[in-house]
Structures are given as C-alpha cells and as structure tokens.
Structure 1
Amino acid sequence: MSRLLQALLVSLSMVLSAAAAASQQETQAPQVQVTPKVLAKGLHYPWSMAELPEGGWLVTERPGNLVYLNPQGQRMHIPLDLPDLYATAQAGLFEVLLTPDFEQSRELVLSYSCGTEQANNTCVVKAKLSPPNAAGYALSALQNIFTALPKKEGAAHFGARMTWLGDGSLLVALGDGFVYREQAQNLQNHLGKIVRILRDGKVPEDNPFTHTQAPEVYSYGHRNVQGLVFDAERNKVWQHEHGPKGGDEINDIVKGGNYGWPMTTFGKDYTGALVSPYNDLPGVKAPLYQWTPSLAPAGLALYQGDLLVSHLAGKRLQRLRLVDGKWHLIAEYLVAQQQRLRAVMVAKDGRVLVLTDSNEGELWSLDLDIQQ
C-alpha cells in the first residue's frame, strides 16, 4: 500500500472517528438523580392530566375513565358518557385539556378514539365540569366538536394530543392510522395531520387548506404525534412524533407545513426495510431533533424555556435546550426507576408531574431545581 493511500485512510479514519464522537456526544447527557414523590397509585393506564385551579388533578385513563385526584392523591370517579368510545390496544380515552378561561367557563375538551374496530378515528368533545362540592364532580353539556375522517380499521396511531394557541384556537394532533401512512400526504383527509379548530368546532377562516375536503388541516406529513405544546414566549408550536424503527422527531410546527412522512424519515420499517431513502427533501420541514434508536416520546412540557420529554420505550425523562435554532439534550432523569413514562406537565408551583404507563400507574412529583 502506498504511503499516500495510507495517509488518506488514516485521515478518513480520523474524520469518521471525530464524526462518531460528535454524534455520540450529541446523544449523551448527564443523568441527574432525582427521587420522585408518589402522589397517587393504582391508575389504570393513565394518559394525561390537567391541574385544577381549586387544587388536585383531572387524569384520563385509557380504558375510558376520567378521575379526580385530590392533593392527597385520593381518587374520585367522574361519570363520563361516551357511547362511541372505542377502547382497545392503543385506542381509548386520551387527552384532557382545560380551556384558557376555565376558571370562568368551567369548560374542558377531551380527545378519544371513537367508532368500532372496523371504522374508527379520533374525536374531540367539549364539556363543562361542575364546581367542586361534597358530592364530587360532574360533567354536563357534552358536545362533539371534531371527528377525524375517514373512519379506518385498526387500533393504532391516533395522535390525540392537543394545545391552545394564543388566539384561542385549538390544535389537535392526529396519527396516520399505521397502515394508512401514505394518506399523511393527502390533504383531502385528516390522517397524519395536525388540525386547527375553534372552540365550537368551526374552521378558522385563515386555515391554510380551507379549499379542500379537510379544511381543518393545519400541517401534514405526520406519523403519530404524541407531544404538542404552544410556547407563548417564543410564539412557537413544538411537537414530537413517533418514527418507525428510529426517527422519532421534534418539530417546529408552522401553518401549512409539510413534515415529510412517509416521504422523508430517519427511521426504517419494523422489517428493516427502508420506508424512504430520503431524510430530507425540498419543501419538507426538517426535524429540529431526532432520536435513533427510538425512545418512543409520549409527553411534552415547557420548563424554564426548555422542553421536557417523557419516554415509553426509553423509560426516562429528558430535558432539551434550544441553541441556535436546534434542540440539544442537556439532562436525563428517572433512568434508575425503569418505568414507562406516558405524560409530563409542569404544575403552577413549579413541580414537574409525571404519569407512569401501566395497569398500576402512578402520578409522580419531581423537583428539578437545578442549574444547567
């Protein structure tokens, strides 16, 4: 072998080693030891939570239960009449979200899978929660405000995370139905989309695709959105979604944006085959962060300007910071607990609350009072 060739190979090896080291450094962060305080036990596959102004939390359980947990962790069932609820596998009751004026209106919204095994999708209803009293809470004025179309088969990829924008409109994240992934690029339906509606279910006049059969669509090209939050300080919508085998993403959601699925992805099919040879294409919004291998992010919250992401398969809570327009991993928590984490939120008093994902799920409280 010539000296020139040897020198080139050594140089190439150094470049590849440096790139690998940089990649490894980017995906590693300090594991910060925190001891969670258990606020409640015995939750049946809890999915989301909302803090009530009078104290305590509303928690959804995927099989179809809405419960109230008082500050001492005692559980109270709230009757919920959803005759079209479809609950099995990934399907069931999902997000509970208070309206921005909840203290005056007592209104909230709930997302859930509706229909049957052969014909189902994601629905959103609005309801009023009674003021607190000795007899417990009750819901009234239940009204459907959105049904994703078309109805499809199967019990996977419903999305269902929601957030309010600063103008009072509601974003609802939807999945691609798993086997219908090509429909994420079809603007004539809701599969693989984020939709924007008004509080009464009407379509905002300034939505980007009001000329289509799915005028609620706000962005498209999504796989299965599991985290959605409005960042009022930056006037941004941050989102994360599941990739297939690898390629979980964090995105900056903009009106009318195409996020690529399934034309672009960092992941592969579960068989190992390529879903697409492209990580990026012209006209596609590239992710600001991606996880490969997948950690299955399942919750998203803003904390002191950072993002907190809870993970199912990854069994940890991660903290990411925005630097030069990209999200960077800066800390990991709850790794030692080895629990699937379904949701994360920040309470009004600054505590971080986490829901574990199991038949005997728990609500945890964390103090992340650290300086990074």
Structure 2
Amino acid sequence: MIFKYLALGSVLFLTGLNFSNVPGNTPPESPETTFKTLCSSCHGDVQAFVDRKWKHGTTKPELMASITHGYPDFGMPAWENTLKPEQIEGIAQLIQTSIEKGNRYSFASKPKSNVFKTEAFTAKLDTVAAGLSNPWGLAFLPEGKLLVADRNGKIYLVEKNQQKTEVTGGPSVLAEGQGGLLDVVLHPDFTKNHWVYFSYSAFKDAPEGKLSTTAVMRARLDGTQLSDQKIIFEALPYSKTRHHYGSRMVFDKNGHLFVTVGERGSEKTNPQNLDSDLGKIHRIKDDGTPVADNPFKDKTKGTIYSWGHRNPQGLLIDPATGTIWETEHGPRGGDELNIIRKGANYGWPVISYGINYDGKVITDLKAKEGMEQAQTYWVPSIAPSGLALVEGSRYPAWKGNLLVGSLRFKYLNRCVLKNNKVVKEEILFPNIGRVRNVKMGPDGYAYVAVEDPGYIYRVLVAN
C-alpha cells in the first residue's frame, strides 16, 4: 500500500507493492497484521505516519478513499479489489490513530508567565542566567557558582545574582551545524585538583576540506582562567559532516569518565564497526587512558564501552544503583531511552523504530538477537537532549523519575519508572524553548537550559 505525502516541501512518490507475498491475495484479519504484511515494506512502522505531512487528507473517509482507489499515475495501487471494505476501514483507523498521537505535542501558544501547573504541584521557573546563545553544558561549582559551556565556544561563570563572567582558555571549536563547545563536567575531586573536562567539536584541515570530530579537553580552572590544557580523548576518524557529535559526559564512582560519540551521519560505516570510535560510548580514566577491563581492548584505543549508537545526547549514572541511563536521537521516530551495559550493541541502524527523513524505510527490523532493546522509545521523535534523575526532597512526587529535555517540541518530559520501564509520562513547561539540557543541582533543584535565546531556569515549587 502506498500513500502519497508531502515531506520537506517535496512530493515523495513510492513504488507499488509486490503481491507475491500475499497467498491468494487474502489479507490477514487484524489491521495491524494486514499493515505489516502489505504496507510496512514501503512505509515502515505504522507509528511513523505521525511524522509525515499528507497531501490527500487524514480523516478516516479521506484515508479510506486513498486506500480504496489509489493514485495509479503516481504508483499508488488501488486496493478495492483485494481488501474488503471493513479491512480498508480498519487500516485507515490504524493510521489515523497513529497520526493523532502527535496531537499531544501541539501546544497552542507560548507561556504567558513563568508559573506552570504540573500534576503534582505548581512550579515556578526562576531565571538563573540569561543572555546566552545555546547553553549546552552545565557544571555546578562547590561555592554555588555555575559553569556554563555555550555551543558558540564561550564559557561562563554564573554568580547567584545572574551575573556572568567569561572564562578564558577554553578549546578551539568548530561551531558549525551541530558542532561547537558541548558538554562540561567537573572531576570528582575538583575541590583538590580543579580539573574541568570539556567535550567539543575539534577540527583539522585536510585536502578535502575542514574535518571535525568529538574530542575532550581537560584543563585546570583558577577563577576565570583555564590552564594546563590537554586533549585527552579524540574520536577517530575525523569526518567532513557537521552533525551527530553526541558528546555527553559523566563520571562514575570509580572516577572513570563516560563520553558519548555520535556516528556523524555515517550509519552504514561507523556504529556497527568496532574499528571506528564513532557511534559509541567510551569509558576512559581521568587522564584519557582506557580502563583496563573495557570490553574491546583490541579495538581502536580500547576505550569503547558500548556500540551501535546514533546520536546520544543524554547520559547519567544512578548513584544508588550504578545504572547508566542514556537518551539518543533516532531518525524520524525512534528516539530512545536506554540502559547502557558493558559491551552491548544498541542496534543502529540494523534495528530501529524510525524511518529516514526522506520517508524511506531504514530497516524492517525492530529487534534482533544480540542487540539491546530500548527501555522506551518516542514516535514522533521528541529530539531528547539532557537527562536527569530526580533525587532529594525538593520534589517528593517526582523522586526517582527521569527528566528529559525535548528540542523538537520545546518542553521537559517527565518519565515515571517502574522496574526500569517508563510507565507514565508528563509534559512539563510546554513551549518554554528548545530544551538543551536538564540537570539536578547540589541544592536539590532541577536546572533547565533552553537555547536561542539561551536561558537557564531553576524549577521551584510555588505552593
């Protein structure tokens, strides 16, 4: 079954279906099975329809007309002689239900105040910093100041009164596309050694033009000056693309640093290739050397911890259990929340719940032996960036929940967990801006960073 739709301003026409896999042209009984048998080879998962723009309407009668009569001149077959009317109606209802899932993200207007009603309490967004561009990384200094890495390459020290001072001595970054100055974390013994770690898009000149990659620089912070700079990690190979850098970092209780690296848009060559650093999560010591028991010691630098990733932009470690949580961007549909396990393969692009941006099917597989399944996934894609685990006593109703930033729909997503599975979600602060990061501060409050214009908010309880 082929439906004609508009995507990215162009009309995309897909070819017709080969009927040879339908014995006697007699479809199965359920709409889900019928769709999978007859339609998914061209359209992928039915949930992906929520992410498409339609030319011929999305009401049930309009969908039924498209299925029944087709558009033969454009490769859309008519199904009226193959499917019964009730089967056509069932498929139309299935598609319509999928499309309507996107309506929950259709926020009517921008917020009129900084006060929001949540299911548990009334929240107030208190402005911590303003006048930023794209505050990608946040790190809390012991004396109550906030260190901010802005994607444009600037580093700021933010005081409690919102005053910000620029920090000098940071890395040289390629602030193009999705690249720039990205995450920042403090060494676990920062009070003693003052080490700070920055992830960023490093670059070099080559005959084919400027190339870039995800790198980590360690430096010593003294007031507003960085010194003793050293690049301790550099993902290879460099690439000419300007997207999918990944680039979240977190230290574990042993002082090992985890670094996420995207596949740089080369899904066919990097994420399933252990000879490439791209599309991986790496684990290194605080000086950049590999950890002795990393699972792939004979590959690249010996730093790979997990593989098969697309573009991971959220990462945290539960201090109580040691569980490593990660979010990563899928294609159109299929954004994931994962638990990261040593040596595990997360499947990209062999398995996926999404489709390509041009509407083409990437893979027919959603599961495969030896590849991890997500704890949950989002269709349509919310573009998750930033990830925090709610701890402490500030928000009793949220304790143990995950907070996930949404770049695409400009809100904060609350995930309620049970046995490490998401059992409920709540949309928080709709339309506040593209949420680039969310972190729990040492004061027990959640801090939310939005971009263009860049603000950092602290979530207060207003009642």
Q: Which TM-score band (shorter chain)?
A: 0.7 to 0.9
Query: May I ask how many residue pairs the two structures share in their alignment?
Result: 350
Name the residue aligned to 1:308: 403
Scaled by the length of structure 1, the TM-score of the pair is 0.88
The DSSP-based 3-state class of the residue aligned with 2:344 is: coil
| SS of residue in 1 equivalent to 2:270 | helix
**Same amino acid, percent of matched pairs:** 34
1:114 and 2:211 aligned = no
**1:161 is matched with which residue?**
248
Code of the aligned partner of 1:126 = R
Query: Counterpart in 1 of 2:7?
Result: none
Q: In 2 relative to 1, CA 189–368 (structure 1 residues): closer, same or farther, beyond 3 Å?
A: farther
Measured at CA, do residues 108 and 276 of structure 1 come closer, stay the same or move farther in structure 2, by a change above 3 Å? same
Instruction: Indicate the SS of the match to 1:182.
Output: coil
Q: Does 1:367 align with 2:442?
A: no
2:381 to 277, 291, 294: 294
CA distance in 2, matches of 1:275, 1:368: 44
Residue in 2 aligned with 1:250? 337
Aligned residue identity for 2:402: L
Distance 1:368 1:229, change over 3 A: farther
Task: For residue 101 of structure 1, report the CA deviation from its aligned partner.
Answer: 1.1
CA contact (8 A) 2:168 2:226 kept: yes
- Specify the alignment match of 1:325 in structure 2: 420
Q: State the match for 1:179 in structure 2.
A: 266
Unaligned runs of 5+ in 2: 1-28, 30-85, 106-116, 391-398
1:197 correspondence with 2:300: no
SS of residue matched to 1:104: helix
Question: What is the rounded CA distance, in whole Å, between the counterparts of 2:191 and 2:170 in structure 1?
Answer: 23
Q: Displacement, 1:63? A: 1.2
Structure 1 position 346 matched with structure 2 position 440? yes
TM-score, with structure 2 as normaliser: 0.71
1:249-280 per-residue CA deviation (whole Å, 9 max, x = no partner) reads 00000000000000001000001101111111
Is residue 220 of structure 2 the alignment partner of residue 125 of structure 1?
no
Alignment partners' CA distance in 1, 2:268 and 2:313: 16
Q: Partner of 2:246: helix, strand, or coil?
A: coil
Distance in 1 between residues matched to 2:411 and 2:368, nearest whole Å: 32
- Give the structure with higher Rg (CA): 2
Deviations 1:63-90 (A, max 9, x none): 111111100111100112424x211121
Higher helix share: 2
Specify whether residues 338 and 55 from structure 1 end up closer, same or farther in structure 2 by C-alpha distance, changes over 3 A only.
closer
Counterpart residue type for residue 103 of structure 1: T
Could you say what secondary structure the match of 1:295 adopts? Answer: coil
Separation (CA, whole Å) in 1 of partners of 2:461 and 2:386? 17
Q: Give per-residue Cα distances to partners, 1:28-72, cap 9 Å, x unaligned.
A: 9x9546331112211021111111111120001111111111001
SS at match of 1:278: coil
**CA positional deviation for 1:180:** 4.3
Instruction: Kindly provide the CA deviation profile for residues 107-153 of structure 1, in whole angstroms up to 9, marking residues without a partner as x.
Output: 111100001463210110111111x4xxxx21111111100000111
1:27-38 equivalence runs, <5 A:
32=119, 34-38=123-127
* SS of equivalent to 2:238: coil
CA RMSD, Structure 1 to Structure 2 (Å):
2.6
By how many angstroms is 1:318 displaced?
1.1
Q: 1:67 aligns to what?
A: 156
